[in-house]
Amino acid sequence: MADDAPAPAAAPPAADKPKLSRGEILAALGGILLGISIFVKTYETRPENPNAQIDGRGGPNPADGITPGDGTYTIWAVHNISRILLLLAAIAPFILIYIVLRQHSLSWPRGEVTMVVGLTAATLLFYTGIVDRPGEPSGQIELEIGWYGAFLGAVMIAVGGTMASMQVSTRKRKPPGMP
């Protein structure tokens, strides 16, 4: 009688299990790096200039009228809106991994949105770190390890998304002018 029990369902073959590509793994590592870098010191006021300040806070020996501080500031402390956008960008690769592991169907190539998010984050970081650095005078504010880590993480997300998109792209390319 015990022999009539139904056999347990066999595990699906290894080919049916989704595997993460190198691009998706690279994007996830970039997301981790970006997420951590948001909370690491990013900007530093030059200690030899007592007038250098970020949001009214200076270094250890500020000039009159400037609130003393330790002189180092994170992305989280300085950028009110950008910090949320960068944190969301750090999460994007993990949404891609969730989609891959759950085998959801998409109407666009896998990794394409992650690539765009990474490029957007890299552009935002480039602007806030190179073009329009926070603080007064901006030439007296130095970039620290947090900015470099965040920028590298954003670039890793973009490159990883690009690699993932190129591996699964099924769009047939046509020469210009062809229907």
Q: What is the pLDDT of residue 71?
A: 81
Q: Strand, helix or coil at 67?
A: strand
Would residue 102 count as lying in a domain?
Answer: yes
Cα–Cα distance between 133 and 78 in angstroms, integer?
A: 11
Is the omega angle on the peptide bond into residue 137 within 30 degrees of 0, that is, cis? Answer: yes
Cα–Cα distance between 91 and 65 in angstroms, integer?
A: 40
Model confidence over 143-163: pLDDT tens digits?
999 999 999 999 999 999 999
Residue with tokens 């770190």: 129
Cα–Cα distance between 112 and 92 in angstroms, integer?
A: 11
Model confidence over 9-41: pLDDT tens digits?
555 555 566 788 898 899 999 999 999 999 999
Domain count for the chain = 1
Q: What is the pLDDT of residue 116?
A: 94
Q: What is the pLDDT of residue 42?
A: 92
Asked if residues 53 and 62 have their Cβ atoms less than 8 Å apart, the reply is yes
Neighbours of 83 (CB within 10 A): 16
Closest CA to 111 of 173, 48, 28, 175: 28
Would residue 33 count as lying in a domain?
Answer: yes
> What mean pLDDT do residues 41-48 have?
87
Cα 1 → chain centroid: 59
Would residue 51 count as lying in a domain?
Answer: no
Would residue 67 count as lying in a domain?
Answer: no
Q: What's the predicted TM-score (pTM) here?
A: 0.80
Asked if residues 77 and 57 have their Cβ atoms less than 8 Å apart, the reply is no
Res. 80: pLDDT tops 70: yes
Cα–Cα distance between 111 and 40 in angstroms, integer?
A: 28
Would residue 14 count as lying in a domain?
Answer: no
Would residue 119 count as lying in a domain?
Answer: yes
Containing domain of residue 98, as a range?
A: 21-40+73-168
Cα–Cα distance between 78 and 56 in angstroms, integer?
A: 11
Sequence length of the chain is 179
Q: What is the pLDDT of residue 177?
A: 79
Would residue 131 count as lying in a domain?
Answer: yes
Would residue 179 count as lying in a domain?
Answer: no
How confident is residue 91, by pLDDT bands cut at 50, 70 and 90? Answer: very high
